[in-house]
Amino acid sequence: MLDGLTAGAREDAAARRADRPLSAVEADAAAQAAALDAVAALSRADHVKLIAEVKRASPSRGALASIPDPAALAAQYTAGGAHAISVLTEQRRFQGSLADLEAVRAAVDVPVLRKDFIADEYQIAEARAAGADLVLLIVAALDESTLRRLYAHVLDWGMTPLVETHSLDEARLAVDLGAQLIGVNARDLTTFELDRELFGRVAPIIPDNAIRIAESAVLGVADVEHYRRAGADVVLVGEALVTGGDPVATARQFVSVS
């Protein structure tokens, strides 16, 4: 599944590149205002911090929400206390787009994450051109050489890499990279099965100078509390926010967890 998603993202990026060359995208990226400081926004506090996600669909659950106005949803998230917004830009299985990211960037004053299956420099330049402050890099989707190259490229654009892991070995690699934001995704992207206890097993090897982010398997406040007890500084939540009916109230509940 992960290989297919990454290959599809590569193909879609190649099609965009054929229409708009890297030099043009880089010019747009260079014209953007400086990226916001995501590390400062997500730094440790006496309560959990929240990355709230604009997410229409997923391969595991299918359609979740239509989200005709992603900017309005993002504004609701920030009204509820979200500290950053994640925007899924993968179009085939998640029904997202870079236009969603651009709309969200124009609507909020918190850091915005491009969440996609990033595999080359063109996608990173696209992220900055669209106003992203963070870029997701999935360890399982990249060989180590490519991961290191793309990690450096994200930094070169002044953005922050969020390095997503799914195992102890992947987390060790993220630590070795010097990643300041390390995500632990409870969903195995090769099988899409959930392991809610994975974060608790991985978190102890993430040093105190990095921010620990728990991803997936958050359906309610009890799940946020579970991750907080296991050492999470931040939770990244999509499904519970887009399907819950009141994203402002749900976000407020989540960020109240100490």
The domain segmentation of the chain, as residue ranges, is: 2-255
- Per-residue CA distances from 239 to 125, 197, 205, 218 (Å): 28, 19, 28, 8
Type of residue found at 238: G
Which pLDDT belongs to residue 193? 84
248 exposure class (CB count in 10 Å sphere: 0-12, 13-18, 19+)? middle
The reported pTM is 0.96
pLDDT mean values, one per 10 residues, the chain (258 residues): 92 96 98 98 96 93 94 98 98 96 98 98 98 98 97 98 97 98 90 89 97 96 97 96 95 98
Which pLDDT belongs to residue 188? 80
Which string of DSSP letters, residue by residue, matches 181-237? EEEEESB-TTT--B-TTHHHHHGGGS-TTSEEEEES---SHHHHHHHHHTT-SEEEE
Which pLDDT belongs to residue 187? 86
Torsion of CA 51, 56, 61, 63, to 10 degrees: 160
Which pLDDT belongs to residue 208? 95
CA distance 196 to 199: 7
- CATH architecture of the domain 2-255 equals Alpha-Beta Barrel (3.20)
Longest dimension (CA), the chain: 48
CB 228 within 8 A of CB 234: no
